[in-house]
Amino acid sequence: MTIQPFSLDYMLQSRTRTSDSGHMYFYETDYSRSDAPVSISFIPGYTTEWIIGYNDDNSLSEFICVGCCKALSTFELKPFDHYFCIRFDESGCFFNYGADPKTYPVNMADQIFTYTPKEGSGESGLIQSFLSSSSFEERISLFIDFLDNFKVFCPVPENIALINKAVFSGADTVYELSEQTGYSVRHINRLYKDVYGFGPKDLIKYVRFQNVLKTIIAAPDHDNSFFIAGTGYSDQAHFQREFKSFTGMTPKQFINNILAR
């Protein structure tokens, strides 16, 4: 799986630990509570995010689900002591029991849902378990148990999974995807629109961009030519235009933010 590095821990600028398990990545961020909301940004991408906010000394909590988005979006989180954040990969989404197995990420695309747990609900039980847990690893285990007991995983179709594998293996045009999988370009475009709400060209673009971001975060002291070498960008101008449209800032501004942390 390819992690999207422009993530919650970067935007919240707080202490973070990460672990990966199955179809998801985990982040837990401690935030010093104040009356001010926490502003967070999401770059365009194929991932679905869950954010679980909760406090140590009261029962207030909130679940936020952010679907994959085609444009830079911002959201203001309510202030909580903790945010347990999950980034799912491209292989599917979790929904409530009883959901149609063909419920795909497109059903949440470009949308943000919020839910305040009701007393006695599975979500409320998860929060109570988090409060009595002693480690991040234990909270991961508790969350997986919550998914097993209260949610159902709806995977993307096998043909989409096959095409995704080609994208993550380095295919950088829809024609390459067609050659590698035997599906026509028109069919591939229709499949992606039906499952994700965006086209295969977009997935290729998202994966390419996120891989470059991962390089930037790991080695911010290099220049743009280093970051984009072998990635498929036609030139630095192409990279800078896409970077600004995805993040709302230039590569230099982004790097300066990293170095200032």
Q: What is the mean pLDDT of residues 29-35?
A: 71
pLDDT in tens, 169-210: 989 899 999 999 999 999 999 999 999 999 999 999 999 998
User: Residue 12: CB partners within 8 Å, gap ≥ 6?
Assistant: 29, 31, 38, 40, 83
- Quick check: 214 pLDDT over 70? yes
Residue 258: pLDDT above 80? no
Average pLDDT over residues 19-42: 71
Q: What is the mean pLDDT of the chain?
A: 86
Would you say residue 37 has pLDDT above 90?
no
Note the pLDDT tens digit of each residue in 80-126.
988 888 888 899 999 999 999 999 999 999 999 999 999 999 999 99
Backbone phi, psi, residue 123, to 5°: -65, -40
Which is higher by pLDDT, 162 or 213?
Answer: 162
Q: For 37, list phi and psi in degrees, rounded to 5.
A: -70, 160
What are the residue ranges of CATH 2.60.40 in the chain?
Answer: 8-155
User: What is the three-state SS of 79-137?
Assistant: CCCEEEEEEECCCEEEEECCCCCCCCHHHHCCCEEEECCCCCCHHHHHHHHHHHCCCHH
Instruction: Quote the pLDDT of residue 20.
Output: 54
Q: Which part of the chain is CATH 1.10.10.60?
A: 158-260
pTM, whole model, 2 decimals? Answer: 0.87
- List all residues 6 or more positions away from 233 whose beta carbon is below 8 Å from its beta carbon: 208, 212, 239, 242
pLDDT at 256 over 80: yes
The secondary structure of residue 78, as a DSSP letter, is: P
* CATH fit for domain 8-155, picks 3.30.2030, 3.90.1750, 1.10.287, 2.60.40: 2.60.40
pLDDT of res. 95: 93
Confidence class for position 254, pLDDT limits 50, 70, 90: confident
Task: Look at domain 158-260 and name its CATH class.
Answer: mainly alpha
